Structure 1
Amino acid sequence: MARIGVDVGGTFTDLVLEIEGENEGANRVYVHKVPSTPWDQSEGVLRGILEICRIGGIYPSDVRLIVHGTTVATNITIEHNGAEVGMLTTRGFRDILHIARHKRPENFSLQFDVPWQSRPLVKRRNRIAISERVMPPHGEVTQALAEDEVRAAAELFKARGIRSVIVCFLYSFLNSAHERRAKEIIQEVLPDAYVSCSSEVANVIREYERFSTTAMNAYVGPKTSLYLKNLEQKLLEAGIKAHLRIMQSNGGVSTVEKCSKEAVSILMSGLAGGVMGGRWAGALSEEKNVITVDIGGTSADFSTIPDGKVKIMNPRDTYVGAYPILAPMIDLATMGAGGGSIAYIDEGGAFRVGPRSAGADPGPACYGKGGTEPTVTDAQVVLGRLDPDHFLGGGIEIDAELAREAIRTKVAEPLGLTVEEAALGIIRILNSNMSLAIRANSVAKGYDPRKFALAPFGGAGPLNGVALAEAVSAREVIVPPAPGITAAIGLLVTDMQYEFTRSVPTLLKNVEQPAIDKLNRVIDELTSLCRERLDDDDVPPDNQHFVRIAECRYHGQGFELRAEIPDGRVDGEKLAAVKSNFQAQHKRDYGWSFDDVDVEIVTIRIIGIARTRPLAWPELEDAAGTGPEAALMYERPTIFDDRKTYATPRYDRKKLKAGHELSGPAIIVQHDSTTLVPPGYVAKVSTKGNIHINAQRV
């Protein structure tokens, strides 16, 4: 059996192929990169899959599983080119998406932008009020659904050419009957429409966030669904009958069908694979505390993984493009910083780097594709850290003179600097911006970077790893075996996950048996839904695992934190454990907790998991006391952060063996990335292929 992980980035599409060994032989692993095709990501994906199959010496039909990380849904939100959405909502609540939480994004600015008003996911003329009413606390129907109004609204949408519709009624998380019936009527009138109910997409309390999440699902859903199904068809036409799975924002994978219907669940698909890959790299060295640093061509992503556990964002923080999204997402920080980030002088004369990027086309000036603006990659070339004849294994030709010219004309001369000084400035600004983002995701959330290893990957990560570790005082640097492909590797070490939620507001103080019975009933129902999905995917019962989460808050608080529910039927003892788990989490997040304040369960979340087989990365041959001389390629002058130029040896990573040590300055070259070892540091190669970089002991 063969399986492939394919991750689409802004500049390159990364792939990893694992082929199971025959007759108990060792598994073979291959990695590959191809340029991304932003106009249609599936073209680059298909090309990469066919090429890596040739590299691995297998037929495309031999592939049984493809796991895909995509930025299609993310790009739609960034570019604001989603579907025109029609909305049905409860009469009197037409403007919830406009009013939102009535917060000013910038309290003291007179010129602030309110994205949910200036760029609404649903235009006001397409928000139609419907007579119906469901009331709390038990979902009683006090006004029947006006089916004639629903049908008239659907006819209006049809006349306007709207083919993406949402149904968002008040308190539908308590009783979804009206939403389900309205959906049936819409599908009778618009049989080909993309229809989403809020009770299907985000079946939880808080009408604004629930409506916004459903609106985003309908906004990105049609194009995302079209892309996924188009990719699936192209794979079949190419003779690839593999199961196609999609990376979700929560760090799990799911089916094309599920991700097409719930496109909002893959808004962070392209970012999540990197976090899972960083955790995998740490595990290769038995390191559980890892800060992942994924730096590609257009963006950089950071996540703090304590004790090997990937963190999920609090609901109050899950925003995409200023729109609240009640879908579970890995806790990460992202910014426009990467190899393609453009350096420029702004209108006020300040020296800036990013977030604008040269992307894949035209790319950095040194690519020779017509780009004239200086980028981070151009700066690395000028400093001698990227060699023109060995960039990406020689797969892309770069011109150092074009890089120098771009930096000279756009940055160095306007600021009165030499080209080398300007190039160093570009790198320093980039690293300063990124170190602030790392601290925001670690120190600001109660985690001490001094207890963590920093794992830099992506095409540009290992060039910046040591400088970032110095800036945040990380314990050491661990460079994965294939840094530029680590996000793709993360796709193959990710479990399949399904999540179902339901709001069941329950105060834990003096809780009575009927309330406990309701909690058990909801847990059973949600678990059954997870089990059905896993059964449909032919997951054997012994590989079905269920995580039970109570999202809790102190009574009167605005948002919840997650607390695990112990296994077994819920009773008073288990609810006490839930309260204890919540208070421990509250103390970790905020530094304090209350023992004498009521705790309230707001939402029950059940996660159905199918464990994936670990990726069997081959071990390196032991150096057995020999030195790294066989891996030495040549020496070239290189400028480091101390402004000094050193004759710096280049080493071929493929020829390094377990136990080899390299004293800085040194540069380690491989096809998918380049690792910088500054003066005063030592790099040691581990058995599993990780490179550990630490300061030299004096």
Structure 2
Amino acid sequence: MAKIGVDVGGTFTDLILEIEPEKVFVHKVPSTPADQSIGVLKGILEICEIGGISPSDVSLIVHGTTVATNITIEHNGAEVGMLTTRGFRDIIHIGRHKRPHNFSIQFDVPWQSKPLVKRRNRIPITERLLPPDGRIETPLAEDEVRAAVEKFKENGVEAVTICFLFSFLNDSHEKRAKEIVLEGMPDAYVCTSSEVVDVIREYERFSTTAMNAYVGPRTSRYLRNLAKSLQEKGIQAELRVMQSNGGIATVETCSEKAVTILLSGPAGGVIGGRYFGEMAGQPNIITVDIGGTSADISTIPETGIKIKNPRDTYVGDYPVLVPMIDMITIGAGGGSIAHLDEAGMFRVGPRSAGADPGPACYAKGGTEPTVTDAQVVLGRLDIDRFLGGDLPIDFDLARKAIHDRIAQPLGMSLEDAALGIIKIINSNMALAIRSNSVARGIDPRNFALMPFGGAGPLHGTALAEAVFAREVIVPPAPGITAAIGLLVTDMKYEFTRSVLAVLNSATQDQLDAINKAADDLTAQAARQLEQDGVPAAAHQFTRIAECRYQGQGFELRAEMPAGALTMDNKQVVMNNFHEQHRMDYGYAFDDGNVEIMTLRIIATANVEALKWPRLEAANGTSIEPAYLYSRETIFDSGEKLETPRYDRLKLKSGHQVPGPAVVIQHNSTTLVPPGYVAKVDDYSNLIVSRT
């Protein structure tokens, strides 16, 4: 059974093919930003040829995509209409009155300056439900819904979101309004808040549902067109998509809930980082995925991959209440552009040259200096070895870009300007690493730093020094690690419902209501897995109570015991919450009142994971067969040293590569500075540490 993982980045599309256990091929092709599916299809056909199989032999394709992410960043989503309860038309404009920058009088409020739904398309509807049971106070004015549909058609609306107050208690009005909208606009993309995120907090619920409608039409078209294109090429494989929570789902599910794949691309990298960290025997990992456009950073303690707190789940400055792997993204990559700002300050990023035109050295029309150009000038990237020679690069163009835009205006030497670019980008990434670790009570000295992505291993040791990480682990195929993560994760769906109860004083009736809600959600999750062809025997369910201390603003996850929640075992949930609070904040109120806000059922089905091949043992042999040649290379200290190059594919388990050295492979290049040594483990990881 052949399986393919394909991850689309800003510059390159990465692929991995597993034909049988421990028989693996990797490949990279340039991304095609105008239509990602072109690069995806090209890469799939090429890697099948590399592996010597027919495309029809592929049974599973798992895809990580940035389509939904790019829509939010570029603000080019659908024209959205919203139906909402009369009097609440401006909820998504008002928000929570949070100031992005407390002491600035010139800040931008994205949800107001770039609203997901224009005010003229937010139409109030007469209806009203009341808490705590969702009883109908004012029936739905169906004629107003029909009039709104006509208005939407006049305004060119292609997606409609329906968000009524207290619909998480009773969704009958939202369901009926959706039926009416589809009668008048059968081709529209329509979603309700109770379908997308059935939880309390009207602003976050409205914003999340609006985001789903904003990215939904283009995302669903992309996924369905990709599936169709694969079939036209004779590829009948099941197509699965990586979600923001680290699980995979079907095209149909991700099309209906496009908001769940906003972080589809970066999630695969975190999963892949954990996979190789476990192989290297290091459970505490800081992953740094540096591609052409951005750097994605996540801290993974031995307890496992962390999911963001709901208060932090923002995408493009918009709150999105869907589970996301805890990571941060900054504009720092190989294509990040070095420039002088209006005040003459030397800056790098966040703007990127991307795949087109790319860095100046690509000779595709780019003239601005980038991080990649700096690596070329410093002799760390060899012009005839980039991507195994598949992508020739031009040293003179890199030199001219840095000289004309940075070195000459600042009166610096070319080498100092190039080193400055590297030092600035490393400083930016080190600050981001600290914000995801030290600022959250995690000591990087107990963690290994794992750099990957095409550019990651060039920066690994410098970043580890900056944050005092224990060592550097460079995975076997750094440029493909995110794609590898796609083949080592499981199917996963999450279903939620708001159920409010203070556990300390909960009555049996309240516990019965919680148990009924949990059973309903479990049945809903089981139906979803069955629709995806997963037999009942393979279903796995985890029950989570999202709790807070009574009066707190947001919740933390606490695992619930198996079976029904009872007076005897409710303390287990409370203890789990106290422990989670202690882990996240360093303290807990063991005698405090614990309030359940939301039930979450996580449904999973295991997918057979990729088996990475073990490496042949060196058995005392020399690394000489891996030696390629030596060239001058400039290191962060400013030293210019004659530095040997080694072919990573010829290194064996147990080999040690002393610095200074450059280890070259098709999808990435690893820099080993003076005073360091890179040791090869049984699974081809390079463990880089001080000598």
Q: TM-score, normalised by structure 2?
A: 0.99
**Secondary structure of the residue that 1:211 maps to in structure 2?**
helix
Which residue of structure 2 lines up, in the alignment, with residue 677 of structure 1? 672
Q: Which residue of 2 aligns with 1:559?
A: 554
Q: CA deviation at 1:308?
A: 5.2
SS at match of 1:648: strand
SS at match of 1:404: helix
CA distance in 2, matches of 1:383, 1:308: 40
Which among 310, 314, 317 is matched to residue 312 of structure 2?
Answer: 317
Counterpart in the other structure of 1:23: none
Q: Secondary structure at the match of 2:505?
A: coil
Q: Which amino acid aligns with 1:575?
A: K
Q: The residue matched to 1:572 in structure 2 has which SS?
A: coil
Map residues 474-489 of structure 1 onto 2, 5 A cutoff: 474-489=469-484
Which residue of structure 1 aligns with residue 14 of structure 2? Answer: 14
1:168 paired residue number: 163
Partner in structure 1 of residue 354 of structure 2: 359
Say which is worse superposed, 229-238 or 106-115, in terms of deviation: 106-115
Structure 1 position 27, deviation (Å): 3.5
Residue of structure 1 aligned with 2:345, choices 350, 374, 390: 350
Deviations 1:285-315 (A, max 9, x none): 1221111010000000000111151101001
Single out whichever of 101-110 and 240-249 deviates more from structure 2. 101-110
Structure 2 partner of 1:277: 272
Deviation digits for residues 178-232 of structure 1, max 9, x if unmatched? Answer: 0001001111111111001001101000000000000000000000010000001
Structure 1, 598-607 or 577-586: larger mean CA deviation: 577-586
Distance 2:293 2:76 in 1: 20
Does structure 2 conserve the Cα–Cα contact (< 8 Å) formed by 1:290 and 1:308?
Answer: no
1:446 paired residue among 426, 441, 446: 441
**Equivalents in 1 of 2:303, 2:626: separation in Å?**
33
Equivalent residue, structure 2, for 1:5: 5
Separation (CA, whole Å) in 1 of partners of 2:264 and 2:195: 20
Q: What is the CA-CA distance between 1:620 and the residue it aligns to?
A: 0.9
Deviates more, 1:155-164 or 1:133-142: 155-164
Q: 2:595 aligns with which of 592, 600, 607?
A: 600
1:86 corresponds to 2:103: no
The amino acid of 2:659's aligned partner reads: G
- Residue 176 of structure 2 is aligned to residue 186 of structure 1: no
Deviation per CA, 1:604-658: give whole Å up to 9, x if none.
0001001121211111111010110000001111111111111111000010000
Mapped contact 2:680–2:687 kept (Cα < 8 A): yes
Equivalent-residue separation in structure 1 for 2:80 and 2:583 (angstroms) = 40
In the TM superposition, what whole-angstrom CA distance separates every residue of 1:304-356 from its partner, at most 9, and x where no partner exists? Answer: 11115110100100111111000111100100000000001111111100001
CA–CA distance in structure 2, aligned partners of residues 74 and 177 of structure 1: 32
1 CA distance for matches of 2:537 and 2:629? 54
Unpaired segments ≥5 residues, structure 2: none
Give the aligned CA root-mean-square deviation in angstroms.
Answer: 0.9
CA distance in 1, matches of 2:537, 2:286: 33
What is the alpha-carbon distance in structure 2 between the residues aligned to residue 28 and residue 405 of structure 1?
44
Aligned partner of 1:507 among 499, 502, 506: 502
Q: How many Å apart are 1:590 and its aligned residue?
A: 1.2
Q: Which position in structure 1 is the counterpart of 2:462?
A: 467
Q: How far, CA to CA, are the matches of 2:299 and 2:461 in structure 1?
A: 17
Where do residues 617-636 of structure 1 align in structure 2 (5 Å cutoff)?
Answer: 617-636=612-631
TM-fit CA distance, 1:664? 0.5
Letter aligned with residue 236 of structure 2:
K
Report the 3-state secondary structure (helix = DSSP H, G, I; strand = E; otherwise coil) of the residue aligned with 1:170. coil
Read off the aligned partner of 1:442 and give its amino acid letter: S
Q: Does 1:421 align with 2:409?
A: no
Check the 8 A contact 1:90/1:129 in 2, yes or no.
yes
1:545 aligns with 2:540: yes
Alpha-carbon separation, structure 2, partners of 1:122 and 1:89: 12
Alpha-carbon distance, 1:543 to partner: 2.4
Q: Return 5+ residue gaps in structure 1 as ranges.
A: 21-25
Q: 2:106 maps to what in 1?
A: 111
2:569 counterpart SS class: helix
What secondary structure does 2:25 align onto? strand
Quote the Cα distance in structure 2 between the aligned partners of 1:624 and 1:540.
47
Counting only pairs closer than 5 Å after superposition, residues 220-619 of structure 1 correspond to structure 2 as 220-307=215-302, 309-619=304-614
Report percent identity of matched pairs. 68
Contact 2:140 2:173 in 1 (8 A): yes
Deviations 1:494-546 (A, max 9, x none): 11001100000111122110001111111111111111111122223332211
**Kept in 2: contact 1:279–1:308 (CA 8 A):** no
2:10–2:292 Cα contact (<8 Å) kept: yes
Structure-1 separation of matches of 2:85 and 2:389: 61
CA apart distance, 1:599: 0.7
1:43 aligned to which of 30, 35, 38: 38
**C-alpha contact 2:508 2:567 (8 A) present in aligned 1:** no
Give the whole-Å Cα distance in 2 for the aligned partners of 1:349 and 1:160. Answer: 45
Kindly provide the CA deviation profile for residues 98-121 of structure 1, in whole angstroms up to 9, marking residues without a partner as x.
Answer: 111112222222211111111111
Greater alpha carbon shift after TM alignment, 121-130 vs 570-579: 570-579
Q: TM-score, normalised by structure 1?
A: 0.98
CA separation in 2, counterparts of 1:184 and 1:222?
18
Count of residue correspondences: 691
Match of 2:208 in 1: 213
8 Å CA contact 1:27–1:616 kept in 2: the answer is: yes
Distance in 2 (alpha carbons) for counterparts of 1:165 and 1:440: 37
Give the Cα–Cα distance (whole angstroms) in 2 for the partners of residues 614 and 466 of structure 1: 30
CA distance in 1: counterparts of 2:235 and 2:43, whole angstroms: 13
Equivalent residue number for residue 147 of structure 2: 152
**Alpha-carbon distance between aligned partners in 2 of 1:418 and 1:138, rounded to the nearest angstrom:** 72
* Alignment counterpart, residue 133 of structure 1, candidates 113, 124, 128: 128
> Could you say what secondary structure the match of 2:504 adopts?
coil
Distance 1:192 1:464 in 2: 49
| Partner Cα distance (1:638, 1:575) in 2 | 62
1:65 aligns with 2:49: no
Q: For 1:356 and 1:553, how far apart are their aligned partners in 2?
A: 39
SS at match of 1:509: helix
Match of 1:665 in 2: 660
Which deviates the most, 120-129 or 98-107?
Answer: 98-107
Distance 1:321 1:192 in 2: 28
- AA at the equivalent of 1:617: W
The AA in structure 1 aligned to 2:155 is R
Q: Is the 8 A contact 1:648 1:667 kept in 2?
A: yes
Counterpart pick for 1:120 among 78, 99, 115: 115
Partner letter of residue 266 of structure 1? I
- Counterpart of 1:19, as a letter, is I
Q: Is this contact kept in 1: 2:614–2:683, CA < 8 A? A: yes
Matched, 1:642 2:642: no
How many Å separate the matches in 2 of 1:460 and 1:573?
54
Structure 2 CA distance for aligned equivalents of residues 91 and 371 of structure 1: 52
1:72 partner amino acid: V
- Partners of 2:448 and 2:532 lie apart in 1 by 37
Which string of whole-angstrom CA distances, capped at 9 and with x for unpartnered residues, describes residues 452-482 of structure 1?
Answer: 1111100000000011011111111110000
Equivalent residue letter for 1:564: E
